[in-house]
A and B are shown apart, each in its own frame.
Chain A
């Protein structure tokens, strides 16, 4: 008698179901990631992630780490540098999914709201009882960029404030006084038209990319036109106004006529710097940190033509800024020690600022006499800095939509009012959807 055997088809079906079940549980789709264990006694190793600081800043970083390790016997800091901020995002996601996160991570305000909303980074009040006292230690605008929903999630590292960097030779050729650079946006537009008319070069580059001190749409709307991006309750987009449309129309006219460089439409922050270095535009609006790049990439004669001035005043009332800050992931094994290290590291930025002009996050460092020595460092600490973008988990998607609509307007595919209205509609959808 032949025993009853399962048919091959049944066997395969059962195997397939089994495989799906095993894979579904193994891949963690429905289980998520676990919180890391908390601090324990004994030797501590902190993993510390920075963004693109290995090249040129290694002695500074390693020196600062070494000093911390000497001051804190038993603590070892493992430094990992990620070459760019987009990689930080994907690497951090992979690390969190794999349960092997760094203890201190250098983040940008573009990703912090998402990590805060998903509870994957610590609110600082869970790690220390003196958050209010901590806040007083930092430059207010930089500290505020890490406060989401009333809770602080990040320690400011360093920031950058937009400044006006201009080509004095093109100013002279256009009959403009290089000693009197444009002080507001009407003057910027007038100077740009004149530069283009007299020299053929574009008046300025103002890219729409995410790197905020290059002047992305949030700066154009909120900083320059003075139009708030969100309603007072934060539940609606508020930028689709006639004032904003009129200001955007200036950009449309400028790109069409050529007095605003066309690279503004689809270029990135470094495209603006490159065009300035080539002597093909009169002005860019970048942080003074770009001076180091310009010095390295332009000959001495060309570099001598560049001058720095305060960011033109806009209706928003403060210079637009960008910053890097430190957050402590939930999965950190030593979160309190990590916060201590982050706070320590934020006080080391004078050394960094001496290599590239950046605004230190720590208020005491920003008051150092070093920053009163040159025009570019004076501009860094002398301007009020503000971060205009909404601290919403979908901020990256909101800006992608806004940038796309801006591009449509600048390329003449849509009237400025329509572009702003369409962007506002998309923002409302994203805000309504929450995370």
Chain B
């Protein structure tokens, strides 16, 4: 076997090797995969399995656990706070995902087409991503306070007559939290779309321009279809992140007022670490896992079938 053939064998995907695959290859494959398998097993599968086990116990973190069957799940069925958190999680997830998937798209297109100060905009929009979440959330808490800068500006310019209770109005608190999440995560999705647009051949955009297509037509007929993969990826990432979102709620509202902004992830933490109800919080985590996994798989299937 000459050198070229050997290199081709190494570079070719395993499926293409067909009957030529040697039995030793499988062993080497497992060996190479071992670090990843160990990491995923230790840091993902083990905690997940542990959580499932906890959910059938009354574990309080301090004493030996007792098996209680499905009691924790039965309690969940009648816990009005849990139901409220599920609704809040759904609202936060739907709105945050929709905004984070759609808003960065046109911005990415504008930046890609070379608007003035594109580097500045790219950096400025990505900046919130690199600021620690706790730091930015504390800053927003001060800005959005009844006596904070945002209200000062709004009252001064006459947009509102009275300061707005961004964080203590039960009808507003959850949307304020969503706004801060979108501000903070916007740059991540912008970057994903910019990476996707980097693979868009210039001649397609030039051809569209020659054919007389404006920006709206070019965006709708060329850019969005080209970014379909990135949009699916962004949707999955944004969806999962929004369902698990905790930090902003912890700092901005503490889940209040009157549970108005408490999501399931926050309630899981609160039940475990404030109330010492690890069994109960594990049951909530399992329900959340099943919901997230089910919806992600459904979404991916739908996206795949459309393709």
Contact = CB atoms under 8 A, between A and B. Distances in A.
A24 B165 CA distance: 48
Nearest to A24: B53
Contacts of A393: 276
A30 B165 contact: no
Contacts of A265: 168, 256-257
Contacts of A90: 273
Contact of A118 (B62, B167, B173): B62
Interface stretch (B17-25, B63-71, B201-209, B295-303): B63-71
Given A30-B64, A266-B253, A411 B258 contact: yes
Contacts of A30: 57, 64-65, 67
A97 B145 CA distance: 39
Secondary structure type dominating chain A contacts: helix
A31 interface: yes
A281 B245 CA distance: 34
Contacts of A267: 168
A280 B53 CA distance: 51
A266 B258 CA distance: 9
Contact of A32 (B50, B63, B254): B63
Given A30-B67, A86-B273, A93 B62 contact: yes
Contacts, number: 101
A97 B273 CA distance: 13
Contacts of A271: 145
A33 interface: yes
Contact of B50 (A29, A96, A115, A209): A29
A403 B274 CA distance: 14
A394 B259 CA distance: 19
B62 A120 contact: yes
B65 A32 contact: yes
Interface string A119-133: 110000000000000
A394 B275 contact: yes
Contact of A404 (B49, B59, B65, B258): B258
Interface centre among B170, B253, B258 (most CB of A within 10 A): B258
A93 B63 CA distance: 11
A93 B61 contact: yes
Interface string B41-53: 0000010011001
A96 B62 CA distance: 7
A256 to B, nearest CB: 12
Contact of A114 (B62, B145, B254): B62
B46 to A, nearest CB: 6
Nearest to B53: A29
Contact of B49 (A20, A93, A275, A280): A20
Interface string A406-417: 011011010000
Interface range on chain A: under 10, 10 to 19, 20 to 34, or 35 or more? 35 or more
Nearest to B279: A29
Interface in A369-405: 393-394, 396-397, 400, 403-405
Interface residues of B, number: 35
Contact of A29 (B65, B259, B274): B65
Interface string B133-159: 000000000000111000000000000
Contacts of A29: 50, 53-54, 57, 59, 65
A32 B61 CA distance: 8
B170 A413 contact: yes
Nearest to B75: A433
Nearest to B269: A90
Contacts of B169: 411
A209 B253 CA distance: 12
A27 interface: yes
Contacts of B63: 32, 118-120
Contacts of A400: 270, 274-275
B60 interface: yes
A266 B257 contact: yes
A210 B242 CA distance: 28
B257 A27 contact: no
A266 B57 contact: no
A45 interface: no
Contacts of A266: 167-168, 173, 253-254, 256-257
A396 B167 contact: no
Interface string A349-374: 00000000000000000000000000
Given A394-B275, A407-B258, 5 more contacts: A32-B64, A33-B64, A115-B62, A118-B60, A263-B145
What 3 A-B pairs have minimum CB-CB distances, sorted nearest first? A32-B64, A118-B62, A407-B258
Interface of A: 20, 23-24, 27, 29-33, 86, 89-90, 93, 96-97, 114-115, 118-120, 209, 261-263, 265-268, 271, 275, 278, 280, 393-394, 396-397, 400, 403-405, 407-408, 410-411, 413, 435
15 contacts: A23-B50, A27-B53, A30-B65, A89-B274, A93-B62, A266-B167, A266-B168, A266-B254, A266-B257, A396-B274, A400-B270, A407-B170, A411-B169, A411-B170, A411-B257
